[in-house]
Amino acid sequence: MTSGNGSLQPLEAVLFDMDGTLVETEHLWDRSLELLAEQLGGRMSDDVRPAMVGVSVAASLQLLYADLGVSRTDSENVADERYLVATTRAQVEAGVRYRPGARELLTAARAAGLATALVTSTERSLTDVVLGHVGAHLFDVTVCGDEVPATKPDPAPYLQAAAALGVRPTRCLVVEDSRTGAAAGLAAGATVLGVPTLQPLEPQDGLVVRETLAGLTVADLTELVLARV
């Protein structure tokens, strides 16, 4: 691992989002949300699902309620959140797959001596199930949605990860699939590589968009950060 203190390296750490970026789990959340919508007496619209990408379960629930036109008490809201997490967890326990090129890029980053972190809006209990499949040892730090003062698009999760790694955010490359996550990475001061899944991303200063992680090298990631240094 490299250190951000006095280092001249343009890239010191790669910070990966989880759902839809590192692993194929968005379709699992789809099923859980559909089942909950049925229990609430409705059907989730195609338009609302993309807005849920990259946000917390609590935020997704509020979007779902508005979409269905239902109101829930605080206790019902808590029960719905537990249902979503438990239903998704049951699916994740059966196994998850890496997104194309994600595992190769992650292992290449580590082989190059870069620090790596997983930064997700998903809570710790479910994240640990995913890590059990993909390999927790591949990350120096993991930051979950229930471990930060504010979730994405706030920069707090990425700032927390960079601080834990001992690197400067400007020496980090964030890999994200959502507008919410990309905004968090940019606000933290990092360069962002966007690989959209359910939600389109538009390139902007500091955000480079690619269709896939497949074929990308550490040298490619370094060039992205160098362009901003």
The fraction of the chain above a pLDDT of 70, given in percent, is 96
Q: What is the CATH T-level fold of the domain 13-24+97-226, as seen in this structure?
A: Rossmann fold (3.40.50)
Q: Which residues contact 142 (CB under 8 A, 6 or more apart)?
A: 117, 118, 119, 120, 127, 131, 136
Mean pLDDT of 67-89: 95
Task: Return d(Cα 148, Cα 74) in angstroms, integer.
Answer: 22
Cis peptide before 169 (omega within 30 of 0): no
Mean pLDDT of 17-37: 95
Q: Which residues contact 27 (CB under 8 A, 6 or more apart)?
A: none
Mean pLDDT of 42-47: 92
Q: Are 199 and 53 in contact (CB under 8 A)?
A: yes
Model confidence over 182-205: pLDDT tens digits? 999 999 999 999 999 988 999 999
The token duo for 139 is 């990350």
pLDDT tier at 56 (50, 70, 90 boundaries)?
Answer: confident
Model confidence over 134-157: pLDDT tens digits? 999 999 999 999 999 999 999 999
Q: How distant is the alpha carbon of residue 74 from its chain centre? A: 27
Task: Return d(Cα 16, Cα 165) in angstroms, integer.
Answer: 13
Identity of the residue numbered 34:
E
To the nearest 10 degrees (0 to 180), the angle between helices 102-111 and 218-226 is 80
Q: Are 3 and 165 in contact (CB under 8 A)?
A: no
For residue 5, pLDDT over 70 is answered with: no
On the 0-12 / 13-18 / 19+ scale of CB atoms within 10 A, 166 is: middle
Model confidence over 90-108: pLDDT tens digits? 999 999 999 999 999 999 9
Where in the chain are the domains? 13-24+97-226, 26-92
* Right CATH for 26-92 from 3.40.50, 1.10.150, 2.60.40, 2.30.30: 1.10.150
Q: Are strands 141-143 and 13-16 parallel, antiparallel or unpaired?
A: unpaired
Task: Return d(Cα 154, Cα 157) in angstroms, integer.
Answer: 7
Task: Return d(Cα 182, Cα 155) in angstroms, integer.
Answer: 10
